[in-house]
């Protein structure tokens, strides 16, 4: 199921010239999941035509068997995927009878493919597919999963019914986690009449969702996720999926309570489309879904988030960040961390902000979470070659005060009596932020400072943060409005000893200065300009820098993104 590979950091990190020994390097996943298509041969083939036969096949099949469900047939029930004695790690495949009519492996399905899929349908608020403890080596291929729940909470709109997770574990907390579970080219969804809390909850080891479509996951008054994993050591694989949810499209951590023993580790998220329909933008607060971000990590380690497209994130339940990096040990267990995170070659389209951050959990400890004893930690983030196209700040869902690349926040460590903690060991390199044509960019990189601090600050509010070779829609600033080189000395002066001083860690950047702003002085090899920034072919989606052609960067390449590495 899994194999180890050596991934060259040089292909992910854009290394700067000169001394780089202390430039942060994020460790990539140590283990990636092999999901190569290998349908079992030599075992029994189960031809399953009814829900009762499906339950029987799940219970009585043996590793190496294939269960074939009839395309177009509805299998109604709350089915359980059992554990099997499986010393040779053989697979059981559950596939559509019309498999040959589905897209080939490594091609994503869409709702149009549902005609060639069997339908697994829950008639209640419970799961359609519950994965039992110790279940292992199950692969579901070309299956549609949805809810026919008739439960209508009193506050729901008339005609809208509620369900929980469609695919989930059968018991919590599981003593023995499921292992080697794959959903391949499946269509998992809610609809206008069915609110759902989650599509797939991947609490297991070697858990993969590939080439699938998870859509219409939404609910009034509750967080929702297309994919969620919080009680797992990993590895996890999400590749080439459509992932659609109102709350967080994908989230790691955020549940499990103080006894959660795991940090989701060795996580691969590539080539996905994380999408929120603009029809969900709230026109009033009466029937608003809880709408937040696209990708959130509250507890995760060794994560590769590469070549994804995030589309449509507006201000509603949160401020509209595409990606949120906020360790939450109060919710995810005292071992929680957000460390060794690599976010590269992504397009964030129509979002209020690229990244929102918090380095420790200020909720940990009394009064909110008195059982939380460790505020968690964050370190070693590499954020490189990402394109951020900003939302229209003048319309519903816009929030001009926080638009930009990143909001840099610290945190607090109440259990240890530390009032203020700070972001450290982070690289922001070769990113491009493009304002919406209707309204100038309000901020690009914004540094939050601890409450009560005033200029001059008693110390730097970050430690070992590197900002290199970016194209920014405005000059960086932060709380108390410090500007230019002197402002950066307040916000990011540590470490101070050469050659790791500020000119080493803030260089190669192009910063647009909108009308009314003052052109500030920055360290050498940075350009702050009131000239209009132009791109190669914005109408065609190519936002590589054309003018000014600034190549005084750490690698001699134009500042900002390399469009050839981005998803189209």
Percentage of the chain exceeding pLDDT 90? 86
Going by C-alpha positions, the residue among 276, 269, 279 that lies closest to residue 248 is 276
HEC per residue, 143-200: CEEEECCCCCCCCCCCCCEEEEEEEEECCCCCCCCCEEEEEECCEEECECCEEEEEEE
CB-side exposure of 276: number of CA atoms within 13 Å? Answer: 35
Burial (0-12, 13-18, 19+ Cβ within 10 Å), 391:
buried
Q: Using CA atoms, how far apart are residues 320 and 314, in angstroms rounded to an integer?
A: 4
Task: Tell me the β-bridge partners of 138.
Answer: 92, 181
194 and 219 in contact (C-beta within 8 Å)? Answer: no
Report pLDDT for 11.
Answer: 36
Report pLDDT for 285.
Answer: 55
Q: Which domain holds residue 1?
A: 1-29+294-568
Q: Is residue 259 part of a domain?
A: no
Report pLDDT for 5.
Answer: 34
Do residues 122 and 227 both lie within one domain? yes
Express each pLDDT in 490-541 by its tens digit.
Answer: 999 888 777 779 999 999 999 999 999 999 999 999 999 999 999 999 999 9
Q: Is residue 250 part of a domain?
A: no
Average the pLDDT over 152-179 and give the result.
Answer: 91
Average the pLDDT over 260-282 and give the result.
Answer: 96
Average the pLDDT over 199-216 and give the result.
Answer: 98
Q: Using CA atoms, how far apart are residues 20 and 313, in angstroms rounded to an integer?
A: 35
Q: Out of 216, 234, 252, pick the residue that ends a domain.
A: 234
Residue 566 has pLDDT above 60, yes or no: yes
CA 15 to chain centroid: 25
> Is the model more confident about 400 or about 418?
418
Residue 258 has pLDDT above 90, yes or no: no
Number of domains in the chain: 2
Q: What is the dihedral of CA 450, 386, 8, 376, to 10 degrees?
A: 30
Give the angle subtended at the CA of 384 by the CAs of 383 and 390, to the nearest 5°.
85
DSSP assignment letter at 220: B
Do residues 7 and 37 both lie within one domain? no
Going by C-alpha positions, the residue among 288, 285, 294, 289 that lies closest to residue 312 is 294
96 and 140 in contact (C-beta within 8 Å)? Answer: no
pLDDT band at residue 117, thresholds of 50, 70 and 90? very high
Express each pLDDT in 126-144 by its tens digit.
Answer: 999 999 999 999 999 999 9
Through-space distance between the first and last CA atoms of the chain, rounded to whole angstroms: 30
Q: Is residue 313 part of a domain?
A: yes
Do residues 52 and 4 both lie within one domain? no
DSSP assignment letter at 51: H
Q: Is residue 260 part of a domain?
A: no
Q: Is residue 346 part of a domain?
A: yes
> Is the model more confident about 494 or about 484?
484
Pairing state of beta strands 418-421 and 423-429? unpaired
pLDDT band at residue 287, thresholds of 50, 70 and 90? low
Write down the number of H helices and E strands in the chain: 4, 46
Q: Is residue 266 part of a domain?
A: no
Neighbouring CB atoms inside 10 A of 13's CB total: 20
Do residues 99 and 17 both lie within one domain? no
Do residues 495 and 353 both lie within one domain? yes
Residue 532, preceding bond cis, omega within 30 degrees? no
Report pLDDT for 536.
Answer: 97
Q: Out of 234, 249, 276, pick the residue that ends a domain.
A: 234
**What's the pTM value of the predicted model, to 2 decimals?**
0.94
Do residues 8 and 40 both lie within one domain? no
pLDDT band at residue 440, thresholds of 50, 70 and 90? confident
Report pLDDT for 486.
Answer: 94
Do residues 5 and 50 both lie within one domain? no
Helix, strand, coil share (%) of the chain residues, nearest 5: 10, 40, 50
pLDDT band at residue 438, thresholds of 50, 70 and 90? confident
Report pLDDT for 399.
Answer: 78
Pairing state of beta strands 321-326 and 445-447? unpaired
Region for residue 212 given its phi and psi (left: phi exceeds 0; alpha: psi -120 to 50; beta: otherwise)? beta
Give the contacts of 493 (CB within 8 A, at least 6 positions apart).
460, 501, 502
Do residues 24 and 95 both lie within one domain? no
Report pLDDT for 568.
Answer: 82
Query: What are the tokens at 21?
Result: 């020994």
Please give the backbone phi and psi of residue 244, each rounded to the nearest 5 degrees, phi first: -125, 120
The structure tokens 């290394």 sit at 15
Residue 452 has pLDDT above 50, yes or no: yes
Residue 439 has pLDDT above 90, yes or no: no
Query: What are the tokens at 285?
Result: 């607060």
Q: Is residue 251 part of a domain?
A: no
Express each pLDDT in 322-342 by its tens digit.
Answer: 999 999 999 999 999 999 999
* Average predicted confidence (pLDDT) for the chain: 93
The DSSP H or E segment spanning 331 is helix 329-332
Express each pLDDT in 365-379 by its tens digit.
Answer: 999 999 999 999 999
Please give the backbone phi and psi of residue 32, each rounded to the nearest 5 degrees, phi first: -115, 150
Average the pLDDT over 461-487 and give the result.
Answer: 96
Task: Tell me the β-bridge partners of 209.
Answer: 183, 238
Q: What is the dihedral of CA 522, 451, 461, 302, to 10 degrees?
A: -120
Between the CA of residue 281 and those of 117, 289, 316, 398, what are the distances in Å? 31, 9, 8, 10
Region for residue 397 given its phi and psi (left: phi exceeds 0; alpha: psi -120 to 50; beta: otherwise)? left
Q: Using CA atoms, how far apart are residues 323 and 281, in angstroms rounded to an integer?
A: 18
Express each pLDDT in 2-13 by its tens digit.
Answer: 333 333 333 333
Do residues 180 and 228 both lie within one domain? yes
Q: What is the DSSP string of 435-494?
A: --TTS----SEEE---TT--SSPSS-SEEEEEEES-EESS--EEGGG--HHHHHHHHH-B
Do residues 20 and 92 both lie within one domain? no
Q: Out of 183, 206, 234, pick the residue that ends a domain.
A: 234
Do residues 129 and 23 both lie within one domain? no
pLDDT band at residue 19, thresholds of 50, 70 and 90? very low
Q: Is residue 289 part of a domain?
A: no
Do residues 113 and 79 both lie within one domain? yes
Q: Is the alpha carbon torsion for 399, 401, 403, 408 positive or negative?
A: negative
């Amino acid at each position: 199921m899994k194999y180890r590979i050596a991934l060259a950091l040089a292909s992910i990190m854009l290394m700067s010239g000169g001394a780089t020994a202390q430039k942060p390097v994020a460790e990539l996943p140590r283990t990636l999941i092999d999901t190569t298509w290998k349908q079992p041969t030599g075992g029994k083939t189960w031809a399953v035509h009814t829900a009762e036969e499906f339950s029987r096949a799940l219970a009585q099949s043996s590793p190496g068997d294939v269960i074939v469900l009839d395309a177009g047939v509805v299998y109604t029930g709350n089915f359980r995927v059992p554990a099997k004695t499986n010393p040779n790690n053989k697979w059981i495949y559950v596939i559509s009878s019309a498999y040959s009519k589905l897209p080939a492996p490594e091609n994503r399905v869409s709702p149009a493919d549902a005609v060639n899929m069997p339908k697994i349908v829950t008639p209640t608020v419970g799961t359609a597919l519950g994965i039992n403890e110790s279940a292992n080596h199950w692969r579901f291929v070309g299956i549609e999963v949805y809810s026919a729940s008739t439960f209508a909470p009193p506050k729901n709109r008339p005609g809208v019914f509620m369900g929980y997770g469609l695919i989930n574990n059968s018991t919590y907390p599981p003593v023995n986690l499921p292992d080697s579970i794959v959903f391949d080219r499946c269509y998992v969804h809610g609809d206008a009449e069915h609110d759902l809390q989650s599509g797939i909850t991947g609490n297991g080891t070697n858990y993969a969702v590939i080439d699938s479509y998870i859509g219409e996951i939404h609910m009034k008054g509750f967080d929702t996720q297309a994919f969620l994993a919080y009680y797992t050591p990993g590895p996890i694989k999400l590749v080439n999926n459509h992932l659609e949810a109102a709350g967080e499209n994908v989230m790691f951590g955020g549940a499990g309570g103080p006894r959660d023993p795991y940090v989701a580790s060795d996580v691969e998220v590539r080539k996905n489309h994380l999408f929120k329909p603009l029809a969900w933008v709230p026109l009033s607060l009466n029937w608003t879904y809880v709408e937040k971000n696209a990708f959130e990590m509250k507890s995760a380690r060794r994560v590769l988030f590469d070549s994804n497209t995030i589309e449509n994130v507006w201000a509603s339940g949160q401020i509209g960040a595409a990606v949120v990096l906020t360790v939450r040990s109060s919710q995810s267990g005292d071992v929680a961390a957000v460390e060794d995170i690599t976010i590269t070659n992504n397009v964030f389209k129509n979002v209020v902000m690229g990244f929102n951050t918090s380095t420790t959990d200020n909720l940990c400890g009394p009064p909110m979470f008195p059982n939380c004893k460790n505020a968690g930690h964050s370190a070693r983030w590499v954020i490189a070659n990402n394109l951020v196209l900003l939302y229209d700040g003048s319309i519903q869902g816009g929030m001009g005060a926080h638009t930009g690349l990143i909001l840099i926040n610290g945190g607090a460590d109440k259990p240890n009596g530390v009032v203020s903690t700070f972001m450290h060991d982070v690289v922001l390199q070769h990113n491009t932020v493009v304002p919406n044509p209707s309204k100038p960019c309000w901020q690009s990189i914004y540094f939050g400072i601890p409450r009560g601090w005033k200029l001059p600050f008693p110390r730097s509010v970050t430690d070992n943060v590197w900002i290199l070779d970016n194209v920014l829609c405005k000059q960086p600033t932060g709380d108390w409005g410090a500007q230019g080189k002197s402002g950066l000395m307040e916000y990011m002066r540590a470490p101070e000893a050469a050659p790791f001083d500020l000119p080493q860690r803030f260089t190669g950047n192009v910063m647009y200065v909108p009308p009314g702003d003052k052109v500030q002085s920055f360290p050498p090899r940075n350009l702050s300009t009131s000239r209009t920034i132009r791109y190669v072919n914005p109408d065609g989606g190519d936002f590589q820098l054309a003018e000014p052609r600034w190549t005084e960067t750490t690698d001699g390449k134009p500042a900002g993104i390399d469009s050839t590495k981005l998803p189209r």
